[in-house]
Amino acid sequence: MVRQSHRPARLDPEAAEQIEGSTDTAVASELAHRAAQALIGGFPGTETEDDPITRSGVVAAVATNGIDDIAELWADSPATTLPGTLWRLFLVREWIRRDPELVARRYATVIDLTEADDTTNARFESALGEARPVPSPTDLRERLDAVLAGSVEDSVTEIAPLLSATAGFLRALAAGSNPVWIEDDADELADRVTRRDSALLATADELTDSARRAAAGLLD
């Protein structure tokens, strides 16, 4: 699902052709940012009168066809940019949607530290150190669904609490079992984000950094 080849971002035909035909890294990066900014909103001056990529067009495309096509634009973006952050939220949402029972089991794992090694104890202490309530998988998915549907309209600062909550959720899963996310290269959610070492913890750290940037209005 994540790496399928399909026509990206069903927007204005001109925008679709521009995206589909782009092989230039700088152009692809610009398109990823503009699509992300259009979905989130609150970026005045990013649209022109004849702009083929508009907030209304992106939100309508998501409502009609889902987020998958547009999310593909974000896959190679740096972690603490807006498109890179939305890609990570998309991966978490897809994981919860596709494997709800697995995620629920990992979320509900009772932690027995009687024979735990130092690494496990350190992960547990790190999770406790967050000192924030961790949302349930169902609650988190609902919040991710809303953001990825374009519910944020005024400012990127609005997503900062969700980024922190998602980071805490991933840390809790890592503390309850292990920091592995996707184990199989053949998995349709296999990605450089999900297949790296300690993927849950690494992604949690990136989302925490993004949350700080979002809160300061610097995530774009």
The span from the CA of 197 to the CA of 204, in Å, is 13
Q: Report if pTM > 0.85.
A: no
Instruction: Report DSSP letters for 40-101, one per residue.
Output: H---TTS--TT-SS-HHHHHHHHHHH-SHHHHGGGTTS-TTSHHHHHHHHHHHHHHHHH-HH
Higher pLDDT, 5 or 137: 137
Could you tell me if 31 and 22 are in contact, meaning their C-beta atoms sit under 8 angstroms apart?
Answer: yes
Q: What is the mean pLDDT of residues 199-206?
A: 97
Higher pLDDT, 20 or 210: 210
Instruction: For 111-157, write each residue's pLDDT tens digit.
Output: 555 666 777 677 666 666 654 577 899 999 999 999 999 998 778 99
pLDDT of res. 131: 47
Of the candidates 48, 58, 60, the one whose C-alpha atom is nearest the C-alpha of residue 86 is 58
Instruction: For 40-92, write each residue's pLDDT tens digit.
Output: 987 766 665 566 788 888 889 899 989 998 999 999 999 999 999 999 999 99
Hey, which of 63-72, 100-109, 195-204 has the most confident mean pLDDT?
195-204
The 10 Å Cβ neighbour count of residue 204 is 26
The span from the CA of 194 to the CA of 181, in Å, is 6
Higher pLDDT, 10 or 55: 55
Number of residues assigned to the chain: 220
The span from the CA of 146 to the CA of 94, in Å, is 13
Give the helix ranges, DSSP H, for 99-198.
100-108, 118-129, 137-148, 160-176
Its sign, for the CA torsion 200, 101, 187, 75, is: negative
Residue 3 has pLDDT above 90, yes or no: no
Could you tell me if 113 and 1 are in contact, meaning their C-beta atoms sit under 8 angstroms apart?
Answer: no
